[in-house]
Amino acid sequence: MWPVVGLFKDTLRLTAASFIVIVFGFGVALLYGRRTAAWGRRWLTGWVLAYWILALPIGAWMLSQPAARYYHRIETRAEARGAETIVMLGGGIVSRTADGMAIDDLGPTAMRLIETARVYRLLGDPLVIVSGGPTQQDLDPPRPEAAAYKVAMVSLGVPASRVLVEDQSMTTREEAIVLKPMLAARGITRFVLVTSPTHMGRSLATFRAVGLDPVPSTSQVFSSETKWWTIAPTRGALTISDTAVYDYMAMVYYWLRGWL
């Protein structure tokens, strides 16, 4: 099941090279037909405009806002409702490897790590669990996301002794299933769940479906350096739009599978 799901996760994304080639290749093919040339121009114009808007910070904000407005980050210890553990869900990494060495690009997950470090300071000295398995199927040996997250958490000032890794799960549902006994073994019943705003709704519903009731605290969507009114497309904004579209589609998929 995972190879099939992984194929769709890697292919049907706004930033996936295969998706871009398919979309624009189809438009170019239409241009070569006498009866379809006009539709080809409309198709290509529409997708160029769509990519331009979604690659603008304001466009990415408009796309992610419907999900983001329902959740916020906790600001006080009281909002944590007694939680002394933080669980951060991974959002993927990209590992660069050469000559037997590797460096991990944290991508959008960096904002989740920053939020986790902030909540760690807010709550004093809670236990931190970072979650994410070896989702990069082409790497041998595998590089679990959680291992990279722990390194980043330590660099943000969280003691290594306070960071646990869950490095087996490949999806949000698997994270909930794997984390449940892990939390129960430590007597943890209340914890703060950190993830992105567009991912939070699906995460909460998935965790509650297995009997867990976390306190949500969302990471920021945009970095503080974001230039809101630029008309120049940015890779960061397109990545945010890509993540939002993926999370909306994944919510529907989880609902159809009965996992929520």
The pLDDT tens digits for 1-31 are 455 555 566 677 888 899 999 999 999 999 9
pLDDT score recorded for residue 226 = 81
Neighbours of 189 (CB within 10 A): 12
Cα within 13 Å of Cα(114), Cβ side: 13
Q: Yes or no: say if 241 and 65 are a contact pair by the CB < 8 Å rule.
A: no
Q: What mean pLDDT, rounded, does the chain reach?
A: 91
Q: What is the mean pLDDT of residues 196-215?
A: 95
C-alpha separations of 191 from 81, 127, 188, 207 in Å: 9, 9, 7, 12
Query: How do residues 228-248 score in pLDDT, each as one tens digit?
Result: 888 999 999 999 999 999 999
Can you give the pLDDT at residue 20? 94
pLDDT given at position 140: 76
Per-residue pLDDT at 125 exceeds 80: yes
Give me the residues paired with residue 127 across strands: 85
CA dihedral (59, 9, 165, 255) positive or negative: positive
pLDDT in tens, 42-72: 999 999 999 999 999 999 999 999 888 889 9
Q: What CATH number was assigned to the domain covering residues 72-218? A: 3.40.50.620
Mean pLDDT throughout 165-191?
A: 95
Nearest to 167 by CA among 113, 193, 129, 126: 129
Cα dihedral 156→221→103→158 (10° resolution):
20
Using the predicted structure, report yes or no on whether residue 179 has a pLDDT greater than 80.
Answer: yes
CA-CA distance, 191 to 213, in Å (whole number)?
Answer: 8
Q: Can you read off the two tokens belonging to residue 75?
A: 């600001």
Give pLDDT tens digits for 104-122.
Answer: 899 889 999 999 999 999 9
Q: What angle do CA 2, 10, 142 make, to 5 degrees?
A: 60
Sequence ranges of the domains in the chain: 1-54, 72-218
Q: What is the DSSP string of 176-220?
A: HHHHHHHHHTTT----EEEE-HHHHHHHHHHHHHTT--PEEEEPP
